Amino acid sequence: MAKLEIQGLSKRFGATAVLHSISLTAEAGEFISLLGPSGCGKSTLLRIVAGLEQADAGSIRLGGRELAGVAPRDRNVAMVFQSFALYPQMTARENIALPLRARRLTRLQRLADRFRLDGASRCVGAEIDRQVEALAHTLEISALLDRHPVALSGGQRQRVALGRALIRQSSLLLMDEPLSSLDARLRVQTREEIAQIQRQFGVTCLFVTHDQAEAMAVSDRIAVMLHGRIVQLGTPQEIYRAPRSLAVAEFIGSAPLNRFALDLPPDGTVQFGEVPLGMRAPAQAGKSVTLAFRPEGLRLAAAGVPATVRRIEYHGAEAFLRVEHAGRTLIVRTGAAALPAIGAPIHLAPDPAAALLFDVEGKRVAIEPLREPAHV
C-alpha cells in the first residue's frame, strides 16, 4: 500500500509530444483507470511509471520515494501486460515464482536449483513454493499450476499473469489493457474479479483501458486522457454526469451523445426545439453553445419534440431507439416494455436535469433552473 504521486510528467518521441505535463495522485489502495482512445499516451504513462520508458521531465513518487533513475526491478511495481507476457517454456507455477526466485536466489543458485544441487537454495525454493501455493489458492488456480501457458485458456492465463504480478506484494500494480484479449463474457466476469482481488490485496492500482464501461465498472476514480493530457480526473459518476468538456462527454458513454448547436437568446434561457427546458445559462447569454443529452436524457412523451422512429436496437431490459428529428438521427434510451413501431411518429421530452451545455470551446458551462436567482 503506497501513495503514488505523479508531477509534471512529459514525454516526447522525436518530434511528437506524447505526454504533456501529466499530474496525478493515487491514494494508497486506490484503483485508478487511465481511460482514453488509442494513441492518447496512456500506455506510455504506464510504461514510464514501470520504468520501461524514461520521462523527459517530471517526477514520480511512490510511497514518498522518488522513482527517477530507479531500475524497473527495484521500483516495487508489478505489471500485468496486454498479452499477459507469460514465459511459454515455464509452467504456471514457475511463471508465478519467477519474480521471487529472481530476487531471493543468485544466478548461480538458480542454475544449481534447476538440477537440485544446492541445499540452501532448495530451502529458499521450498519457501517460494509455499507462497506460490498460497497465492494460487486465493486466485483459485491451484489445479493449473503445473500446466504450461499454451495449455491454459485466456482467462486462466490472465489469472496466472495476475498471480505473477501479486506474488511480490508490490506497492503498485499496473495493468495495461489486461482484459482486451478476452471474449466479451469473460471480460465482464474477469473485471469483477480484478476489482475484488485488488481490494482484497489493498494494492494501489493503475489500470489502462480504452473501454469506458470497463473503467466505470472497476475504478474508484477515472483519469480521462486525450491527446497526452489528463482532461478530467474524477469518480465514474462525476465523469459521466459532469464531464468537464464536450470531448470527455463524447468519449464516455456507450451510445453517442445527442448534440444540438444553439444560439442562446439574450436572457440565456435554453430550449430544445420548441420545448423550453426551464433552465438558463446566464454567462452564455447571446452566445453559441452546444446542448447535449445522453440517450436516457430524452424520454418518449405525449407531447414535445416531434420525431419518427427509424430503427430499434433491442437489448432485453431496455432498448435504444434511433429516431429522426429535423433530418438528424437521435438516440433515445427507453424501457423495452412498450416499444413504438418503426416509422411511428413520437414525441420526445427532454429531462432538464440531464441537459449538458458546452460553450464554443467545448467547455461545459453551468446551467441552472430558471426560478433560482442567477449568480453572476
The β-bridge relationship of strands 204-209 and 31-35 is parallel
Between CA 256 and CA 215 the distance in angstroms is 17
Distance CA 189, CA 155 (A): 9
Q: Measured from the CB atom, is 73 or 137 closer to other proteins?
A: 73
Kindly report the backbone phi and psi dihedral angles of residue 369, in degrees, each rounded to the nearest multiple of 5, phi listed first: -60, 150
Residues 180, 185, 189, 191: what is their CA dihedral angle, to the nearest 10 degrees? 20
Classify 210 as helix, strand or coil. coil
| Chain residues 208-237 in contact with other proteins, contact rule CB under 8 A | none
Comparison of 21 and 82: residue with beta carbon closer to other proteins = 82
**Per CB under 8 A, which region of 65-73, 237-245, 286-294, 308-316 contacts other proteins?**
65-73
Number of residues that bind other proteins (CB under 8 A): 23
First to last CA, the chain: 45
Our CB check for other proteins shows the closer of 38 and 89 to be 89
Q: Which DSSP string do the residues of 34-81 spell out, in sequence order?
A: EE--TTSSHHHHHHHHHTSS--SEEEEEETTEE-TT--GGGS-EEEE-
Tell me: does residue 311 bind other proteins (CB under 8 A): no
- Is there binding between residue 203 and other proteins (CB under 8 A)? no
Shortest reach from residue 339's CB to other proteins, in Å: 46
Q: Which stretch binds other proteins (CB under 8 A): 47-55, 138-146, 268-276, 345-353?
A: 47-55
Q: How far is CA 266 from CA 200, 211, 281, 316, in A?
A: 55, 40, 10, 45
**Binding residue for other proteins, selected from 16, 69, 89, 261, defined by CB under 8 A:** 89
Q: How far is the CB of 215 from other proteins (least distance, A)?
A: 22
Subset of 67-86 contacting other proteins (CB under 8 A): 71-73, 77-79, 81-83, 85
Q: Which of 11, 164, 191, 280 binds other proteins (CB under 8 A)?
A: 164
In the complex, the smallest distance separating the C-beta of residue 100 from other proteins, rounded to whole angstroms, is 9
Per CB under 8 A, which region of 87-95, 221-229, 332-340, 358-366 contacts other proteins? Answer: 87-95
At 100, list the grid cell. 521471487
Residue 131 in contact with other proteins, rule: CB under 8 A = no
Apex 343 CA angle, 341 and 347, nearest 5:
80
Q: Which of 36, 41, 99, 268 binds other proteins (CB under 8 A)?
A: 99
**Cβ(52)–Cβ(6) below 8 Å:** no
Interacting residues toward other proteins by CB under 8 A: 47, 50-52, 71-73, 77-79, 81-83, 85, 87-89, 98-99, 102-103, 107, 164
